[in-house]
Copies of this chain bind each other. A is one copy, B any other.
Amino acid sequence: MPKKVYDFNEGTGKMKDLLGGKGAGLAEMSRIGLPVPPGFTITTEACLEFQAKGGKEIDPALWEEVLEHLSKLEKRTGKKFGSVENPLLVSVRSGAPISMPGMMDTVLNLGLNDQTVEGLARLTGNPRFAYDSYRRFLTMFGNVVLGIPHDKFEHILEQYKEKYGVKLDTELSTEALKEIVQAIKEMVKKELGIDFPQDPLEQLRLAVKAVFLSWNNERAIAYRRFNKIPETLGTAVNVQMMVFGNMGSDSGTGVAFTRNPATGEKVVYGEYLLNAQGEDVVAGIRTPKPISAMKDELPETYQQFMDTCALLEKHFRDIQDIEFTVEKGKLYLLQTRSGKRTARAAVKVAVDMVNEGLITKEEAVMRVEPNQIYQLLLPHFDENDKREAVKRGDFLAKGVNASPGAATGKVVFDPDTAEELGKRGEAVILVRAETSPDDVHGMIMAKGILTARGGATSHAAVVARSIGKPCVTGCEAIKVDMERRAFTANSVTIKEGDFISIDGATGEVFRGKIKTEETKFSEEKELQTILSWADEFRRLQVWANADYPRDAQKAREFGAQGIGLCRTEHMFFEEERLPIVRKMILASSEEERKEALDKLLPIQKEDFKGIFRAMDGLPVVIRLLDPPLHEFLPSYEELLVEVTRLRLEGKDPKELEEKEKLLKAVEGMREMNPMLGLRGCRLGLVFPAINEMQTRAILTAAIEVSKEGGTALPEIMIPLVGHVNELKVVREQLEKVAEEVTKESGVKVNYKFGTMIEVPRASLTADQIATVADFFSFGTNDLTQMTFAYSRDDAEGKFLFSYLEKGILKENPFQVLDREGVGKLVKMGVELGRSTNPSLKVGICGEHGGDPSSIEFCHQVGLNYVSCSPFRVPIARLAAAQAALKEKMAKVEKIGEA
C-alpha cells in the first residue's frame, strides 16, 4: 500500500497532485529551510479512496498512518496531543491540487478541550489567550465540522458582548470568554444532542473526515463544473502545529503578496494585525495595517519577512501570496502559493520577471491568460472617478464578479422595460432578484445585469457571459422591492430610473454614474512586449474579420496579418444603398436587375478599395453575398398589418395595390427556415448576376489600388458550399468575369477562389471540394448551427442557456468550439482537403477564431490562420503562442518519458 501521509519535510513543491497546492507549498518551504511550523499532509489519494469506499468512515489503515505521523510531530515539537502540561495544538486545512474555494477551509487550535485549555493558560501564563483560543476553536469546529450555522455562534458572542457592554471581541474578559465557551457547548448539545467532542484524537478524526466530505459539497461541485476541474483530483488535508499570533504585541498575523496584485508593481503588498489570529485579518473588526508599518513595529521581523519574500519569489519564480504568523517575534510561514492578479498585473509581472532574468520569454507568454487580455481591453471604470464615488459614499455593495466589463445605466426591474428602453438607445442596468429564461430579451438590450441571488453559474451569469454583458450576481446586500420598484443597499434606496454603475470584473456596485474608459492598445507597452514575444512562438497566423476600412485599420493596429472575413452584405444594408438593393431583388426582368446591379458596382468597388488600402500587402478574404434576400426586404408582418389596414379603410386603392404587390413579392421570398434556405452560393446559382457584379467590383478595386502603387491580395470566398459541383459551377462562371476584367484593364492581380466550410457535408466531402478551391475557411458559426441543429436565433433563449445551467452542455458551443462534434468535422475537413490539394490554405472565420480554447484546437489540427474580431486579435496572438508552446512542452515531456 502506498504511503498516504507525508511529513512536510518528506515532500516537495512538485507534488501538488498528491499533496495539494497548500501541502506542496509547505513541503517546498520546509525543504528550502524556511521557518514553517511542522506538520504533515494526508494525500489526495486518501481522499479519493475515502470517496470510493462510499465516504463513510476513515480507513483504519489510514488512521494508523496519521497516528504515526502525529506521534512523530509530538516528538519533534516536544508537545503532546491532549496533554495538559504541554498540549500540542494543530490547524487542519484542506488543500486541493488546484485552488478551490467552496470546500471546508480551516480549523485552528484543534486539540483544545476543557483540560488542555487550562494547560495552555498555565503554559502561556495567559488565561485570556487560552480561553479566546478555545472559543475560536469551538466556533470553527462547531461550524465547519459539526455543521452548525455560523450565526448561532455569532449570536452567543453578541449576547455576551452586550452583557458585558463591550464592542470588540478583544475587550471580553477571561471570565466572559469562559461563559461563552460554556454557552457554546450547551448550544451544541442542544443542536446535535451530543457533547462537544473533548477527545483531541476524535476531534482530529472528525476534522479530517469533514475535509474529505467537503470535496463533494454542492458549492465545490458547482465550482468544479464551472471551472472545468476534474472530479478525480481529490483534496489533501494539512495538519500543522499551531503557532500563535495572538500572544501579545510581539506577535501577529498577516497576508501579503510579493508584488502588487492589482498593478504588478514590484513592492511587497499586504497587511497584518498585531496580537491576532488567523481570521481576524480578514474579519474586518480591527483594521489591519499595511505591511510597510511593520518596519517600525517589528523591524527585525520585517527585514526577515522581506528577505523571505525575495527568496520565495526567486525560488518559485512567480508572485507569491503568503500567509504568515509572528509568535513572540519569531516569523512562521503558513502558506505560499502563486498570487492571483489582475490582467494588468499579470502582464506587467510577466514582462518584469523576464527583464529581471527570473523567467524566460516562453514562461512569460504562458503566464498571461488570453482572456485576461480581453478584460484588459474591455471598458473599465476611470480610477479617479471611481475613487471619488467611493469618497462620496456611493459604494453600494459587492457581489459575484460574474461577467467582466464596466457599465453605467438607469435601473430597470423587468425585462420588457429593459428591452423597450434599450431599443430606444438608453443605457439600462437590469436589476432582478434572479433571472430566468423569460428575461433573456431584456438582458440582451441592457448594458449590464445585477442580481441579488445566484453565483457564478447562475442563469444570469451564464447568459451574461454568453452575450458579453457585464454582470454582478449574488449581490445579497441588495434588497429588491418589486412593488415599490426600488432596491436598497448600504442603507440607500435606488428607484427605477436612477443611475447605478456595476463592475463585472470586481463585482462592485455603485450609486450614480462612473466614467468608463477603454484601454488604448498603443499605450500598453508591456502588453505589446508580451504579444511580440508571443509572435515569436506561434505558428498560427492571426487574421481579423472586418467589413469596413475603419475595422480593417483597427485590426491591423492590433496586429492582424490579413482579413479572414469581409462580409459584403453589411455594405448592402447601408441606408442609401438599401433601396437599390431592394430594386435588384424585386426586379421583374433581368434588365431591371442589371440596372440596379450596375448602380451598386461602383459603390461596392469603393468599399473594397478602402479595405485593400488599409490592408496593403496583406490578403483580404471577401465573402460573396450570403444572407437570404428577404433580409433586405421590408418586414412581412408589418406589410401584412398595413395591407390589412388599407383594405379595411378602403381609402387609398393605389397605395393598397402597391403594398399588396410588395407583400406578394416579400411573401414569395419568405422561407420556413431561412438558415437552411436560399442563401450563400445558392443565391449565386439562382441569380448569377449578383456574384458577377461583386467579383467585378472586387477585382476592379484591386486593379485600381495596384495602379495607385498599393498591393491588393483579394481572395474571393464562396459561401455555404455543400457539394463540389456548386463551387465548380460558380468558380467557372466567376473565373470568366476575372478574365474579362483582366483583359479590359490590362492589369493582372493575384486573386484566389475558395470556399467557406460551414455545411457538414462540405467537411465530409472536403477531398472533392478541395480540388476546385485555393483555400478553405471554416465558418464555425454555421457549422455549429448545422452540426448541433441549433438555430442561434432561436436556441439560446429557448433552451441553450437552460442546457448550460443544467450542465447538459459544459460550454456554449457558439463560443467555445465543440471539439467532440464540430471539431471532428473541422479535423476531417482539413485532412480530407489537404489529401487532394496539399497547398490548400485553411483558416477559420467563425467567432471561435477569437476564443483561446478554440484557437488551441485550430493549432492542433494544423490550420494556417484564425480570423477573429479586431478586438480579439491580441487574445488570439497570445492564445496561438500558448498553443504552440504547449505542444512543444508536451513533446519535450514525451521525449523525457521515453
Q: Which residues from 745 to 780 on chain A have a C-beta closer than 8 Å to any C-beta of chain B?
A: 758-761, 764-765, 768
Instruction: Please give the distance in Å from A463's CB to the nearest CB on chain B.
Output: 16
| Complex Cα–Cα for A482 and B652 (A) | 33
List chain B residues, Cβ under 8 A from A794.
671-674, 676-678
> Mask for A683-697, Cβ within 8 A of B = 1, else 0?
001100000000000
List chain B residues, Cβ under 8 A from A676.
673, 675-676, 785, 789-791, 794-795
List chain B residues, Cβ under 8 A from A788.
722-723, 759, 761
A interface size (C-beta, 8 A): 56
List chain B residues, Cβ under 8 A from A723.
788, 808-809, 821
> Mask for A813-842, Cβ within 8 A of B = 1, else 0?
000001011101100000000000000000
List chain B residues, Cβ under 8 A from A760.
760, 786-787, 789, 821, 825
- Also in contact, A799 and B672, with CB within 8 A (given A764-B820, A808-B729, A820-B764): no
List chain B residues, Cβ under 8 A from A806.
685, 729
Flag whether A803 is at the interface (Cβ < 8 A).
Answer: yes
List chain B residues, Cβ under 8 A from A227.
none
List chain B residues, Cβ under 8 A from A786.
760, 786-787, 789
| Complex Cα–Cα for A677 and B796 (A) | 9
Neighbour of A677 across the interface among B641, B726, B768, B791, CB < 8 A: B791
Flag whether A798 is at the interface (Cβ < 8 A).
Answer: yes
| Complex Cα–Cα for A785 and B759 (A) | 10
Flag whether A645 is at the interface (Cβ < 8 A).
Answer: yes
Flag whether A303 is at the interface (Cβ < 8 A).
Answer: no
| Complex Cα–Cα for A332 and B790 (A) | 69
> Mask for A126-161, Cβ within 8 A of B = 1, else 0?
000000000000000000000000000000000000
Report the nearest B residue to A720, measured CB to CB.
Answer: B789
> Mask for A861-872, Cβ within 8 A of B = 1, else 0?
000000000000
Report the nearest B residue to A683, measured CB to CB.
Answer: B799
Instruction: Please give the distance in Å from A456's CB to the nearest CB on chain B.
Output: 21
List chain B residues, Cβ under 8 A from A799.
678, 682, 685-686
- Also in contact, A798 and B720, with CB within 8 A (given A640-B641, A761-B787, A789-B786): no
> B685–A821 contact, CB under 8 A?
no
List chain B residues, Cβ under 8 A from A648.
644-645, 648-649
List chain B residues, Cβ under 8 A from A634.
none
Flag whether A506 is at the interface (Cβ < 8 A).
Answer: no
List chain B residues, Cβ under 8 A from A677.
791, 794-795, 798
> Mask for A624-649, Cβ within 8 A of B = 1, else 0?
00000000000001001100110011
List chain B residues, Cβ under 8 A from A725.
807-809
Report the nearest B residue to A784, measured CB to CB.
Answer: B761
> B787–A759 contact, CB under 8 A?
yes
Instruction: Please give the distance in Å from A619's CB to the nearest CB on chain B.
Output: 27
> B761–A791 contact, CB under 8 A?
no
Flag whether A856 is at the interface (Cβ < 8 A).
Answer: no
List chain B residues, Cβ under 8 A from A640.
637, 640-641, 644
List chain B residues, Cβ under 8 A from A789.
675-676, 720, 722, 758-761, 782, 786
Flag whether A802 is at the interface (Cβ < 8 A).
Answer: yes
> Mask for A355-376, Cβ within 8 A of B = 1, else 0?
0000000000000000000000
Neighbour of A824 across the interface among B764, B785, B790, B795, CB < 8 A: B764
Flag whether A893 is at the interface (Cβ < 8 A).
Answer: no
Flag whether A574 is at the interface (Cβ < 8 A).
Answer: no
Instruction: Please give the distance in Å from A719's CB to the nearest CB on chain B.
Output: 11
| Complex Cα–Cα for A726 and B793 (A) | 21
Instruction: Please give the distance in Å from A820's CB to the nearest CB on chain B.
Output: 5
> B672–A798 contact, CB under 8 A?
no
| Complex Cα–Cα for A729 and B820 (A) | 19
> B685–A802 contact, CB under 8 A?
yes
| Complex Cα–Cα for A677 and B794 (A) | 6
> Mask for A399-417, Cβ within 8 A of B = 1, else 0?
0000000000000000000
List chain B residues, Cβ under 8 A from A672.
674-675, 791, 793-794
> A675–B678 contact, CB under 8 A?
no
| Complex Cα–Cα for A640 and B645 (A) | 11
| Complex Cα–Cα for A759 and B822 (A) | 12
Instruction: Please give the distance in Å from A756's CB to the nearest CB on chain B.
Output: 11
| Complex Cα–Cα for A720 and B789 (A) | 8
List chain B residues, Cβ under 8 A from A791.
671-677
Report the nearest B residue to A437, measured CB to CB.
Answer: B686
List chain B residues, Cβ under 8 A from A795.
676-678
Report the nearest B residue to A667, measured CB to CB.
Answer: B637
Instruction: Please give the distance in Å from A52's CB to the nearest CB on chain B.
Output: 21
Neighbour of A820 across the interface among B641, B649, B758, B765, CB < 8 A: B765
15 contacts between A and B (CB under 8 A): A641-B641, A648-B649, A672-B675, A674-B794, A676-B785, A676-B789, A677-B795, A682-B798, A685-B806, A686-B802, A729-B806, A761-B789, A764-B787, A765-B820, A765-B824
User: What is the interface of chain A, defined by CB distance below 8 A to chain B?
Assistant: 637, 640-641, 644-645, 648-649, 671-678, 682, 685-686, 720, 722-723, 725-726, 729, 758-761, 764-765, 768, 782, 785-791, 793-795, 798-799, 802-803, 806-809, 818, 820-822, 824-825
Given contacts A760-B789, A760-B825, 17 further A-B contacts (CB under 8 A): A637-B637, A648-B648, A672-B674, A672-B791, A672-B794, A677-B791, A677-B794, A685-B799, A686-B798, A686-B799, A722-B789, A723-B809, A729-B806, A761-B788, A761-B822, A764-B824, A765-B824
Q: Which 10 A-B pairs have the closest CB atoms?
A: A676-B791, A673-B791, A761-B821, A677-B794, A672-B793, A671-B794, A725-B808, A678-B798, A673-B673, A673-B675
